[in-house]
Structure 1
Amino acid sequence: MRLSALLEPDADYEERDLPLGCQTPTDSLVPESAFSHGEDAITLAEYCGYDLMDFQRQGLVEKLGANMVEQRDGTLIERWAAGETADVISRRNGKSFEIEILILAGLFMLGERKIMYTAHRDDTALEVFNNVVAAIQRTPKFWAELDEAGPRRANGQRAIKLRNGAVCYFRTRTMDSARGQGYNRLILDESQSLTEEHLAALMPLVTGAENAQINYAGSAGGMRATIQAKLWRSYKKKERGLCYRGWHLDPDEDFDDLDKIAAVNPRLGRGLSYEFVAKEFSRMSRQDFGRERGGASTYPREEGAGWLVPEKAWARAQDAESAIASGSTPRYVLEADPQLERGTIGVAGRRSDGAMHIEVIDHEPGVAWMLERSRQLVTDHGGELWVDPKGPCGFMLGDLAEAGVPVKLFDADDLKNAWTWFYTNANPRPLPPEPGEDVDPDAPRPVPAPGVRHRGGKLMTQALAAAELRKLLDRHTLRRTVSTEVNQGPIVAPMLAGYAVGKSERDVKEPPPSPVRATGAEGRRTPPQRRTRRTRDVDVATTGF
């Protein structure tokens, strides 16, 4: 069901027929442990009046897993299986409950002497403090263990101190929000706003503690979420000692799909209103809704990360005179960013040497112009028009059919195969030695000519430099939305166009044109006339479209 359909005037549905929020994270990494204090923490939470959902119960069990570790002197000591835990989940899904229970368990069950809770905003820190105090007040046994002065609230120095000296501080993060060391637990709420400077000031707090744990909790982050981006990359690498639980959609997903939203919001239908979420979808921008409700992160790229196709390989594939051979059928692809702010038309076709020429021929604001331009290209120059029916331009299929423009469609496998084709042809591997060849181990192997050629247009190069991959089952393809917000149409469209050429050739068994050797000036191709309609930021030279 479409999320937007819930707000239509004639919407006819029963909430009992709508999907409930999924209790299992989409992304999970749990270190092995011999036992867990999680079940005891759940019992303590229920004793304090908490009514936990399945995902919260499982989260406590996984966070509080532990092992017995033998020390140098042969004695055994308890250690957390995860020295760091991270929960990344959309807002209003109850992550604060787990934080509050970790604080209560630390003070009243685990014997932790010093706990530090921090949040980016003061109202968040105040809310968690008040909730923990209220849970203690509901539990006479715990209230009796409080220091005689009771919870401290003065001057923003909030703290809960017990008679035995155990204490939990509640702070708003600053560059100087805490000092000292030997803390047993450091809780970093709103971790999407955690900075390098904050972490540098706070991490030393747990230095020297026998068995310390750091707990991160937040919603999906954007370009400024540098620490959360590192946690995500650590999860992808399956870093030892990290417990990661995340509810994420890919930034290219269809956020209007109610089933997908339910998959990343455990409380949907259990306290999180369907209508409220539908209103969020209608009011927010696509990117904001995807991040805040869909868990679609747009993290900054890792420092020093290279191009997906190495820059040197892309430069080697450049040919200022590259062009589609006469008689070769061009394939055009319509592309756009998910917000439909800019449309792109890419083209590809075989060169006279059999390599694939790719190019951007249009990159304009909006998408309304693409219908007439598509009709003109196919009418004046021939060729095939291709569209991804599930992509941003899929909505144009009906209009194209009414205009009499024939269209061929990509499928999900094509998107995966297109990236594999593009990467291997733009970045060919060195040739293996011939049988019996005398190989010099210090000499570089020869590399074949690239199977993809381009003219070095600024748009394609900038898009490729910022390109990122997204996973499709067991393979990858290019994202349409990247963290740097560089429009990806100028690389996605030519890539798909090049793949469409090969796919069409395989379907009709049409061999590529035979290589033609130029013999002097008479064999050279006359450069095409440039069209004056091009915008300033499209490729300077075109194939004449």
Structure 2
Amino acid sequence: MNTVKGCQRPRIEHRPAPGIKNHANEVAVAAQLCGLLLDEWQEYALQLATQRRSDGQWSAYEVGLEVARQNGKSAIIEARIIWGLFFNKAEKTIVYSAHEFKTAVEIFNRLVGLISSNPRLMRLIAPNGIKQGNNGRGIKLKDGSEVKFLARSGGSARGFSGDLIIFDEAYALKSEQLAAMRPTMAARSITGQPQLWFASSAGMPDSDVLNGMRGRIIDDPQQEPREHTVYQHEHEPKLLWMEWSAHHEMDSADLEARRLANPSLGVRISLEFLDDELRGFLGDPEKGEEAYRREYLGIRPVAAKAAALSLAHFKSLHDPNAEMSDVVALAVDVTPSRDYAVISAAALCPDGRILIEVVDHNVGTDWVTDALKQLKANLNPVRIIINAGDGAAALAPEFKRAGIRVTEISMKQYVQACGQFLDDYKARRLVTRVEQEVLLDAVKIATMRFFGDTLFRWNRKNPLENIAPLVAVTLAVRGLEYKRNRQAREEGIGGVKKKPRRLAIGH
């Protein structure tokens, strides 16, 4: 008899600001009316996800749920939909979407089966309210409330608008799909109580949305907890993240690893089954152990583990007493959507370090030329850098008309600048005098896009992640290059020594 039980609390849990009540009991009762009984861990997830603030809004606008396969994630989704459709009248439209159409159909069929078991609920459904078509499935009530079942295949975001939107198989969710429906959710935030759910097994290397959410909580895999840990970051007051997973250093056959990742162990999943699956994956050259660890232990593939920069290391570069010289370079960067721009500066310090700072940032680009003109007059920068291949290049003619001379660097030079910045970061040659939230946020989410084996640039694949402050300071550091080279030659490093020095050995 299998007496080993899975952990009922997630290993990594981030809670939003506390609410005053939750609807977990109501959701569980609604599910029970349809014959769906929830486990302890499922009720716990719903308890956190259905908390409300005093103003009636959800405590969590974004709900992230990661759990290994076959544990009963779908039951949580089904219970939430049943309660939202029949009992929570604030949710007039619910949208469930999956990466594959067959998954959406499966959930639809299960829900129809559950609802059909309760005559009282069936009487609330509109005539011909259960729709089955090639373009999607749906259930509509007599009062107009409805739930739609859609597939995201093909990249379309059409139809992704509602009071409650559930992205199942979120490891395959594309950032473009999420970006396309954000404006509709913004409009609903004025008149309604919107909530987004992201449910999934562990993310893949290209799971931009899912990995981005997780990265807002854990930026360094080396700092991950080994057991249930609750976070509550002030800068993420509306994010709920619940992750049942094993620590990446645990062995694939480790009993505790299996307990951490499988809350339904001993109920729906047996140790024997996991042993069989491990042997099967090890014997499959197309899957292998890494695939088993992702699907049954919730451990992300190696390529998705590490962020480009450690937030803890970057914060350690802070020195409020750092002195700067009058050798300053400026840089401008604009997001690909042109909805935000930033001006950053880099300055040589007497001790050889480089002071970096965001000096101005705002929405849009209309303000940039005037701000840059004023900074040029005040700081007399040695260079003003923009990347010829990015959004700021469109402002170059405007800068010229305003009498601002800028240096446009090529993509090859920008790639070199990224490598130079990383070297300076690792060698602790960078310093900040103030901890700027916009820069820290960019550092936290930064990833690399590689060209060949060693060259890279900061990755802008996800339009929802704003790394413009990091790009701008990277460019500003590049603007000091020739001054640094001159300084190096004067110090006898990498050039002709003006004052030859002797190495002192011993005494």
Q: Which residue matches 1:221?
A: 203
Matched position secondary structure for 1:271? coil
Q: Which residue matches 1:33?
A: 19
Unaligned regions of 5+ residues in structure 2, if any? Answer: 219-231, 282-287, 326-347, 354-418, 427-446, 454-501
Query: Which 10-residue stretch deviates more, 230-239 or 253-262?
Result: 230-239
Q: Which residue matches 2:104?
A: 125
Q: How does 1:16-415 map to 2 (within 5 A)?
A: 16=3, 19-31=4-16, 32-69=18-55, 78-111=56-89, 112-173=91-152, 174-179=154-159, 181=161, 183-209=162-188, 210-236=192-218, 238=233, 239-284=236-281, 285-298=288-301, 300=304, 305=309
> For 1:305 and 1:263, how far apart are their aligned partners in 2?
28
Is this contact kept in 2: 1:63–1:82, CA < 8 A? yes
Deviation at 1:300, TM superposition (A): 3.9
RMSD (Å) for aligned C-alpha atoms: 3.7
> For 1:121 and 1:164, how far apart are their aligned partners in 2?
30
> For 1:235 and 1:95, how far apart are their aligned partners in 2?
22
Aligned residue identity for 1:66: R
Unaligned regions of 5+ residues in structure 1, if any? Answer: 1-13, 70-77, 311-422, 434-438, 449-460, 469-481, 488-514, 520-545
Assess, with a 3 A threshold, how the Cα gap between structure 1 residues 447 and 95 changes in structure 2: closer, same or farther: same
Aligned residue identity for 2:79: I
Matched position secondary structure for 2:88? coil
Aligned residue identity for 2:37: D
Q: Which residue matches 1:417?
A: none
> For 1:185 and 1:152, how far apart are their aligned partners in 2?
19
Is this contact kept in 2: 1:179–1:205, CA < 8 A? no
TM-score, normalised with respect to structure 1:
0.53
Structure 1's consecutive aligned runs of 4 or more residues displaced over 6 angstroms after TM superposition are: 301-304, 306-310, 482-487
Assess, with a 3 A threshold, how the Cα gap between structure 1 residues 102 and 203 changes in structure 2: closer, same or farther: farther
Aligned residue identity for 2:45: G
Deviation at 1:247, TM superposition (A): 1.1
Is this contact kept in 1: 2:247–2:257, CA < 8 A? no
Aligned residue identity for 1:168: V
Aligned residue identity for 2:121: F
Matched position secondary structure for 1:93? coil
1:15 aligns with 2:2: yes
Deviation at 1:15, TM superposition (A): 2.4
> For 1:40 and 1:268, how far apart are their aligned partners in 2?
26
Deviation digits for residues 183-205 of structure 1 (CA, Å, limit 9, x no counterpart): 21110000011111221233344
Q: Which residue matches 1:399?
A: none
> For 1:27 and 1:307, how far apart are their aligned partners in 2?
18
> For 2:52 and 2:253, how far apart are their aligned partners in 1?
41
Assess, with a 3 A threshold, how the Cα gap between structure 1 residues 15 and 307 changes in structure 2: closer, same or farther: closer
Is this contact kept in 1: 2:19–2:51, CA < 8 A? yes
> For 2:104 and 2:160, how far apart are their aligned partners in 1?
20
Is this contact kept in 2: 1:175–1:201, CA < 8 A? no
Assess, with a 3 A threshold, how the Cα gap between structure 1 residues 91 and 205 changes in structure 2: closer, same or farther: farther
Assess, with a 3 A threshold, how the Cα gap between structure 1 residues 308 and 250 changes in structure 2: closer, same or farther: same
> For 2:98 and 2:184, how far apart are their aligned partners in 1?
15
Assess, with a 3 A threshold, how the Cα gap between structure 1 residues 126 and 179 changes in structure 2: closer, same or farther: closer
Assess, with a 3 A threshold, how the Cα gap between structure 1 residues 102 and 204 changes in structure 2: closer, same or farther: farther
Assess, with a 3 A threshold, how the Cα gap between structure 1 residues 256 and 171 changes in structure 2: closer, same or farther: same
1:444 aligns with 2:422: no
> For 2:503 and 2:250, how far apart are their aligned partners in 1?
44
> For 1:41 and 1:130, how far apart are their aligned partners in 2?
20
> For 1:445 and 1:100, how far apart are their aligned partners in 2?
63
Aligned residue identity for 1:275: E
